[in-house]
Structure 1
């Protein structure tokens, strides 16, 4: 459900300016109920609170002062709540405090519920495809998991978070959150280990769950379209008692149908109950839970370069719809359940404490023939295959305890945060393979019963524990200049129990100190230049092909940029340049791509910009551009100076949506998008090149009273493209044209 608060006009703001002094007293009295703590967990309201009136001018009177007076009656956005239009104002991801984006000295993009609904983004990959610095869909049309690169580095393994707590994706044990259960998606670029203790220097993606609201509401949606897809969803919530202490929300989603790969299903259902208890104005306790079941197949077919990017020996290309597995047993199934809580208590005007915790379990099973071996004949019509099977179980506990103090030392104002985080990750992984599998004729595929048995090559029980102690001080040197200093000490214990070869059981203990120093200067007219230096530390789970545990990754980045958000103009523009060094980077082992190996150092240097705008009534725009150079600076001789595979170095996107606000056509809307992805390489030697490509999206919709009718089309021209190649025999087709229609009703 989308909720937004109308913006008062300047005239109305000036009229209310006198009365706002009385309103200030009421707002201050209400502070006990809705404390403006700047914390990452605001009270459960309709996701808004009244902003404090400020008649002080940091640069004189005139329009700036008037805008600040108008702010007294404008609803303040919650960092976990809905966004008015597309332009987010606040976030808690970069600092773990409730901080305006214009005062955050780091690149961050926020995709809100309204944009997700307009684009009908059903996966996290689709939700982030217009975000700067982000390449979504590295492995093409994969229905098992979302893959991302941030500033050229993979972030879908250790860089996925939900509500500020990590979702680890190791090996073939994947986690995936249904986007209908999200309020917003926040993409933080650059090292973030100083607060989160994990993640590579490219950044992380934090998924913010829907939470209970103060106002009662209801929402239902049904839809369907390409590949026989059909789905239904609902979202209801509000107060559960007359006194206003209990609030609930229940979100559900169910999908059934096929995919662009013949015989591969894409079935899923998701249910998420949430409860909030507010015994008084200073305390809030929220329970967030969800259960999700997925039944799909391996759709990211591992195909040869010749036959996809370029024609094969007979001048043919492999159809996108080809099922390289077998419709009878090309299987991927997953069950995942999470339950957690968010607790906050405000002691006084200075101190507040919070604790966020979550326990999750995931079980997945995969059994399929895989390509990845190339052709078995000179005419290149017979795909060589092998059987791959995996059964994985995961249990993960995260607890993050924070204390925040807001005070003045007589010279400067401080927002001081300190915390301790505990993470426990347990995985039981059983991987097996069978060589050789039956060849598959790409001209006339014949499927049959499974003829190859799988033999285990890896049976492990991995135990990973991490404790981190961190602090951060946001210091107001002047009303315009903010300095952020932070540090974190992590202690990690990683043990791998080899059930197949017990003598290979081993482990390691690691520790590291990471830090961040940043400064931002906010001019009255909305310009905010900033600079930031930060380091990263990512302990790695698992072993290499020799059974040895991996060394932790380390990295650092310097970033400088400018943010521009002129008061009252409705748009937010950012520019950022960065230089990243990442050490001990993992890459598939060429001897056996089921295992990883570690390189020396990879460097990424580049520039990105993004515009998010509510330009005028009814028009929303998102645009971004990214260019960077990435190469291996230390490692194997054949990799030094080369661009890593799977990695396009140029990205450009534009998306808009317009709804007619008045007249006979009121409620009718339309829009579309253009996505450009630059060239990349398919082999380590950089001799096989993937061309760049352009994709078009479009949507039309009509709002009538509480009804909405909408049709979306992605890859409108149905362009056949290869999203990336991991190696010469591991290329992945991107999404074919997808058309979805939906009808929704809210009350």
Structure 2
């Protein structure tokens, strides 16, 4: 194994194994437990992935997948100057920002469905659920691609939202040495430095180290954040047929909990976007999060492979905040509440899979069988005080004066939650004749939870099960076009209890999707047009008999049409764009009006990014580009009582490869300084969008 050619051969062997990424294709980096492979850096420039492993846990050509899948690769992340997951959302159709808890974590919806209002939708990290409990907004310093899987993913990944799932795929260790440092400075006191280093530690051991330090202000008065990020990774080639991988992330963030501004008479832009309605003396909310992933790959023979993995995440959140509670009749006096949060969580998951290929006559099969188990502990302790009208902890929203005496909160929440689940999944990808492809899968889940409310001495338990099937058919019309249809089901447990302390029935969903896909002859460009219809039942709604309690009797629907395209055209142009029409609404509820729109979900949205690249007289590469993003009008709260107006923003970018080792880039967001509202939870918690900002970055390779 000391011979480099032998080592490369071993890596290439795994690259050709079932359900893994092919060598020389980093933009097709495998997800879940897929092996680390040696890749060619030149391929990282591809703007469109030709295959993907997130949707099936096997490396499958996009043209053969019976669902819409959008992959935002490293090149596009760099073009967008993305430092957060939030920076790539408008590059994918049907994705919308949701209430992000004052900027403390990621929260989005796909096709109208956003998940739990406190935890958000399911976001995967290399195929493992990564945002149970709480997690700071994901940093992109070590991200290779962000895979958006449209439609239900429960047949493989268990409980999830029916609109879609996001899988974040990280950069992998390489045996070829490469090192780079990025230094960025921008408006609003933005400073960021990152390092990306990879290479061989020994003939059979490779490493990768990504790190980032960042401070940034914002359009918001008295709101400033700091974060420290470290992500080490190692790969061991243990033998001709075995690879062991370890990855970790350590993230620390400090930022105030900022609920934004309030709407006055339904106008979400009545106050300046900079107006801070909390208390600077509260200080920061402190968040610490660490994740560890250990995977083992073993090739049994030419067609069969085993892989196992264990994932562990833990973290903590604590700090004071002052938040709006009621706007008085004078539309000037805002009563506020003060809270102290002390949350902690531990999340452990195990996966084991067997995959392989075989034929039955002229029919080809690629099968996958796996088992997954996870355990989550979530302890939440919150102190709160909401002063009475006689002694309000209030502020004048038109002329805020900070520094008043702060009331001492008292215990409001003290819970210990324990969750566990076991899932068994089976999948078969079938090749029928030359042009037909069938994808069939099913997952069986059992999940248990115990919620101990120590403040009220109540214990709520649930022990449920779910079956999540999916079936999809693809017909390859030609090398350029394919059509597909699919149907699937999903589920998501409801937390909490009803009036009688009984656990709620889980949400259940069913979805259907049809679409057509196109790819160019060279595979560098492609497009997807998809239409979908989704219904979700057992949504929590107000108990009509017992005030202040809920029952699982609501129903919401979403249907729409989406179009995404991306790729490289000719020698000079990289282009990516999307359009979406999404009709997401309440179909049945006890208190919400039937037909009312789901919060923060625009009916229409779209974006375009175009970049022209060429070489200068000395052979250095330069590029210039940009494009608009459009978000339609949205409901501002769950009751659809006020509206967030539509908006258009624009971005511009330019870069110059000064020497082979030095690159300069300039990125400008919200080029025309458009005032807009990013998201809202209610008329008291409205988050203004960012003003115009610019950042200059120098990248040095060594």
Same fold (TM over 0.5): yes
Q: Distance in 2 between matches of 1:446 and 1:545?
A: 42
TM-score by length of 1: 0.86
Listed as ranges, the matches of 1:97-496 within 5 Å are 97-135=58-96, 137-139=97-99, 142-154=102-114, 157-170=120-133, 173-241=134-202, 243=203, 245-301=204-260, 303-306=262-265, 308-309=267-268, 317-373=270-326, 375-378=327-330, 380-436=331-387, 438-448=393-403, 450-496=405-451
Superposed CA offset, 1:404-462 (max 9, x none) = 01111123110000000011111000122111252112232111155211122221100
CA contact (8 A) 1:77 1:83 kept: no
Secondary structure, aligned partner of 1:128: helix
CA contact (8 A) 1:130 1:622 kept: yes
Superposed CA offset, 1:305-332 (max 9, x none) = 548525xxxxxx3122122111121421
Superposed CA offset, 1:480-528 (max 9, x none) = 21111111110101110111111x2111100011100001112333101
CA contact (8 A) 1:175 1:362 kept: no
Q: Distance in 1 between matches of 2:221 and 2:266?
A: 18
Equivalent residue number for residue 535 of structure 2: 581
Secondary structure, aligned partner of 2:13: coil
CA contact (8 A) 2:45 2:74 kept: no
CA contact (8 A) 2:497 2:504 kept: yes
Superposed CA offset, 1:32-57 (max 9, x none) = 734512324678x88499xxxxxxxx
- Cα gap change, 1:597 to 1:505, in 2 (>3 Å): same
Superposed CA offset, 1:650-671 (max 9, x none) = 1111111222235469522111
**Alpha-carbon deviation of 1:77?**
10
Equivalent residue number for residue 39 of structure 1: 19
Q: Distance in 2 between matches of 1:550 and 1:567?
A: 51
**Alpha-carbon deviation of 1:646?**
2.1
Q: Distance in 1 between matches of 2:637 and 2:359?
A: 56
- Cα gap change, 1:637 to 1:364, in 2 (>3 Å): closer
The more displaced of 217-226 and 325-334 is 325-334
TM-score by length of 2: 0.91
- Cα gap change, 1:91 to 1:32, in 2 (>3 Å): closer
Q: Distance in 2 between matches of 1:248 and 1:672?
A: 35
- Cα gap change, 1:83 to 1:529, in 2 (>3 Å): farther
The alignment status of 1:609 with 2:575, answered yes or no, reads no
Secondary structure, aligned partner of 2:594: coil
CA contact (8 A) 1:496 1:549 kept: no
Equivalent residue number for residue 532 of structure 1: 486
CA contact (8 A) 1:417 1:473 kept: yes
- Cα gap change, 1:105 to 1:235, in 2 (>3 Å): same
- Cα gap change, 1:333 to 1:178, in 2 (>3 Å): same
Q: Distance in 2 between matches of 1:260 and 1:93?
A: 36
- Cα gap change, 1:605 to 1:418, in 2 (>3 Å): same
Gaps of 5+ in 2: 1-5, 29-36
CA contact (8 A) 1:40 1:80 kept: no
Q: Distance in 1 between matches of 2:240 and 2:472?
A: 34
Equivalent residue number for residue 674 of structure 2: 719
- Cα gap change, 1:351 to 1:595, in 2 (>3 Å): farther
Q: Distance in 1 between matches of 2:682 and 2:26?
A: 47
Q: Distance in 1 between matches of 2:228 and 2:146?
A: 20
**Alpha-carbon deviation of 1:349?**
1.5
Q: Distance in 1 between matches of 2:100 and 2:670?
A: 13
**Alpha-carbon deviation of 1:143?**
3.0
Q: Distance in 1 between matches of 2:58 and 2:159?
A: 18
Superposed CA offset, 1:148-180 (max 9, x none) = 11001105624111000002345xx33432111
Superposed CA offset, 1:103-160 (max 9, x none) = 111111111111111111111011222111211x323794311221100110562411
CA contact (8 A) 2:560 2:582 kept: yes
Q: Distance in 1 between matches of 2:98 and 2:167?
A: 19
Gaps of 5+ in 1: 1-25, 50-75, 311-316
CA contact (8 A) 2:27 2:74 kept: no
Q: Distance in 2 between matches of 1:454 and 1:141?
A: 20
Secondary structure, aligned partner of 1:179: coil
CA contact (8 A) 1:134 1:151 kept: yes
Superposed CA offset, 1:247-277 (max 9, x none) = 0011100002322222222100101110000
Equivalent residue number for residue 620 of structure 1: 574
Secondary structure, aligned partner of 1:448: coil
Q: Distance in 2 between matches of 1:489 and 1:517?
A: 15
Q: Distance in 2 between matches of 1:591 and 1:433?
A: 28
Superposed CA offset, 1:173-199 (max 9, x none) = 334321112111011110010000121
Q: Distance in 2 between matches of 1:743 and 1:607?
A: 40
Q: Distance in 1 between matches of 2:441 and 2:101?
A: 39
Superposed CA offset, 1:355-379 (max 9, x none) = 1221010101141110142x2251x
Q: Distance in 2 between matches of 1:438 and 1:543?
A: 32
Q: Distance in 2 between matches of 1:568 and 1:322?
A: 51
Secondary structure, aligned partner of 2:72: strand
**Alpha-carbon deviation of 1:728?**
3.1
Superposed CA offset, 1:7-41 (max 9, x none) = xxxxxxxxxxxxxxxxxxx9997687345123246
Superposed CA offset, 1:54-95 (max 9, x none) = xxxxxxxxxxxxxxxxxxxxxx99799974321111211110
**Alpha-carbon deviation of 1:225?**
1.0
Please provide the CA RMSD for this pair. 2.9
Superposed CA offset, 1:210-267 (max 9, x none) = 11012110010011212111111101011111x3x10001110000232222222210
- Cα gap change, 1:116 to 1:563, in 2 (>3 Å): same
Q: Distance in 2 between matches of 1:636 and 1:213?
A: 56
CA contact (8 A) 1:80 1:184 kept: no
Q: Distance in 1 between matches of 2:321 and 2:253?
A: 16
The more displaced of 574-583 and 150-159 is 150-159
Q: How many matched pairs?
A: 681
